[in-house]
């Protein structure tokens, strides 16, 4: 039986995502009501600049006073799609204090201060949902938080940033350099005017922090995530990867240590074999592998960004938050009981692909190999190539702690016979 008094929703932000949320709430209102068990009504939309006509939204719903909107006692759920730390954090906190549940797509805020938000939601007996914060409509938060709640997740590995995947895919398929591929991404709307958050890996790192936190039942913040962007990736790196039967992807990798007592989270470009399913994730798509002890290896794939896919995730959470409001219950809150320490990058065990410019004379390979051995790093393959008195040495290592690998590189740099380190890249997915 359906309740007739509608649930009231306040929408903060009416950009690409917000306007799509409002549109679907209007056009699909009957379906949403049937699925929730009560009608749901847009009670207010906070925007930065009033005056613009917003198609499908009654003008009297528009306000520039977000603080007043979230403090209204009649609001059941606040949807926050402004992004950024402030004023989002204050608005969400105010919403909780006034008894509203919150659905947010704000990865930056969650990675910065998710625990405080979870605690506030808990204190006020309301929900905090955020499926849209990671990979838009690809279900990841809910599967990790609920479907795998009885399993032990050991690894989350994936492509969680569409912009950088588009750029690397273009570099790989056309041979373009980074700058050229970025220009194309910008022209096509895949990269923002200031692409820093994407290309420097901040966006992916925030998502890695969120995923690691849920997967390992441990608080993981943005600062805990080792982060390297793609700005240093060259056409030569991509060509090297090709010669190894690999491609280069920006990966987010969250791992439980072999002994189970600590976890790591990192974002960096890496070579992965062309045979790995992530190698065929093209353009701005996202894909994430989750490895759990009982479930095995699961993959989730789809468009990881965009107004409609993000709105889909927001609306799924909105339905859940509304159902809980109706039944007087709460969804699962933060689960951080495991409190595992987050180890630094140096303790991550991985492989390196190192390309060195060396003097073309006898004994250089032996000298380099000694440096690897001294640092306890075992070599998998070496390829030596001479050209006009100079030579290049391409070394792929076996798995070793990242600290040992980077110390090896430092020592190589100090060899007289090593003219320079042309590139270093980790190798994953094998």
Catalytic residue list:
207
3-state secondary structure labels for all residues of 125-188: CCCEECHHHCCCCCCCHHHHHHHCCCCCEEEEEEECCHHHHHHHHHHHHHCCCHHHHHHHHHHC
Helices (H), 28-161: 29-36, 66-70, 88-97, 107-123, 141-142
320 is an interface residue for a copy of itself by CB under 8 A: yes
Q: Does 143 bind a copy of itself (CB under 8 A)?
A: yes
Is it true that the peptide bond before 87 is cis, omega within 30 degrees of 0? yes
- Nearest distance from residue 22's CB to a copy of itself, in Å? 12
Paired sense of beta strands 263-273 and 246-256, if any: antiparallel
Taking CB under 8 A as the binding criterion, the range among 31-39, 69-77, 366-374, 390-398 that sits at the site for a copy of itself is 31-39
- Residue range at the interface with a copy of itself (CB under 8 A); choices 83-91, 165-173, 329-337, 377-385: 329-337
Scan residues 214-243 and list those touching a copy of itself (CB under 8 A).
217
H or E element at residue 249:
strand 246-256
Give the residue from 73, 81, 79, 65 showing the smallest Cα distance to 99.
73
Asked whether position 79 contacts a copy of itself by CB under 8 A, the answer is: no
Task: Work out which of 72, 98, 323, 419 binds a copy of itself, going by CB under 8 A.
Answer: 323
**Out of 108, 111, 138, 253, the residue judged to bind a copy of itself by CB under 8 A:** 138
First to last CA, the chain: 53
Q: C-beta of 54: minimal distance to a copy of itself in Å?
A: 18
- If binding means CB under 8 A, how many residues of this protein chain bind a copy of itself? 58
Contact set for a copy of itself, span 245-274 (CB under 8 A): none
Q: Is 327 in the site for a copy of itself (CB under 8 A)?
A: yes
Considering only residues 333 through 352, tell me which ones interact with a copy of itself, judged by CB under 8 A. 335, 337-338
Work out which of 6, 139, 177, 401 binds a copy of itself, going by CB under 8 A.
139
Q: How far apart are CA 121 and CA 128, in angstroms?
A: 6
Give, to the nearest 10 degrees, the angle between helix 29-36 and helix 16-27: 80
User: What's the closest the beta carbon of residue 284 comes to a copy of itself, in angstroms?
Assistant: 11
CB 378 within 8 A of CB 400: yes
> In the bound complex, what is the minimum distance in angstroms from residue 308's beta carbon to a copy of itself?
4
35 forms part of the interface with a copy of itself (CB under 8 A): yes
Q: Which two tokens stand for residue 200?
A: 């420097």
Distance of alpha carbon 8 from its chain centroid, rounded?
31
Per-residue binding string, a copy of itself, 369-408, x by CB under 8 A, is ----------------------------------------
Residues interacting with a copy of itself, by CB under 8 A? 20, 24, 28, 31-32, 34-35, 131, 136-139, 142-143, 146-152, 217, 277, 292-303, 306, 308-309, 311-320, 323-324, 327-330, 332, 335, 337-338
């Amino acid at each position: 039986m359906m309740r007739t008094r509608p649930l009231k929703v306040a929408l903060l932000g009416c950009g690409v995502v917000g306007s799509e949320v409002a549109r679907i709430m209007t056009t699909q209102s009957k379906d949403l009501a049937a699925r929730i068990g009560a009608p749901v009504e847009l009670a207010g939309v906070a925007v930065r600049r009033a005056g613009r006509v917003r198609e499908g939204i009654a003008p009297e719903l528009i306000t520039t006073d977000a603080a007043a909107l979230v403090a209204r006692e009649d609001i059941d759920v606040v949807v926050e799609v402004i992004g950024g730390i402030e004023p989002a954090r204050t608005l969400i906190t105010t919403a909780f204090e006034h008894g509203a549940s919150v659905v947010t797509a704000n990865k930056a805020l969650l990675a910065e201060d998710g625990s405080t938000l979870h605690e506030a939601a808990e204190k006020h007996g309301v929900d905090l949902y955020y499926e849209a914060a990671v990979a838009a409509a690809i279900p990841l938060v809910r599967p990790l938080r609920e479907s795998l709640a009885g399993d032990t997740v050991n690894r989350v590995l994936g492509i969680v940033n569409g912009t950088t995947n588009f750029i690397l895919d273009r570099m790989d398929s056309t041979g373009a350099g980074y700058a050229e591929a970025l220009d194309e991404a910008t022209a096509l709307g895949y990269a923002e005017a200031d692409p820093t958050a994407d290309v420097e890996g901040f966006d992916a790192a925030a998502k890695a922090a969120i995923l690691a936190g849920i997967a390992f039942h441990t608080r993981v913040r943005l600062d805990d995530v080792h982060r390297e962007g793609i700005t240093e990736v060259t056409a030569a790196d991509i060509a090297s990867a090709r010669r190894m039967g690999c491609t280069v992807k920006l990966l987010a990798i969250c791992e439980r240590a072999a002994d189970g007592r600590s976890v790591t989270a990192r974002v960096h470009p890496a070579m992965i074999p062309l045979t790995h399913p992530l190698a065929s994730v093209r353009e701005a798509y996202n894909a994430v592998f989750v490895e759990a002890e009982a479930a095995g290896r699961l993959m989730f794939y789809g468009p990881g960004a965009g107004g409609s896919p993000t709105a889909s995730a927001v609306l799924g959470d909105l339905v859940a938050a509304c159902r809980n409001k109706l039944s007087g219950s709460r969804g699962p809150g933060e689960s951080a009981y495991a409190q595992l320490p987050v180890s630094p990058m140096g303790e991550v065990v991985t492989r390196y692909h190192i390309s060195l410019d060396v003097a073309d004379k006898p004994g250089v390979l032996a000298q380099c190999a000694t440096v690897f051995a001294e640092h306890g790093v075992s070599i998998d393959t070496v390829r030596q190539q001479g050209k006009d008195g100079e030579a290049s040495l391409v070394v792929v290592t076996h798995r070793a702690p990242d600290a040992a690998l980077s110390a090896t590189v430092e020592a190589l740099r100090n060899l007289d016979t090593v003219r320079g380190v042309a590139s270093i890249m980790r190798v994953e997915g094998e």
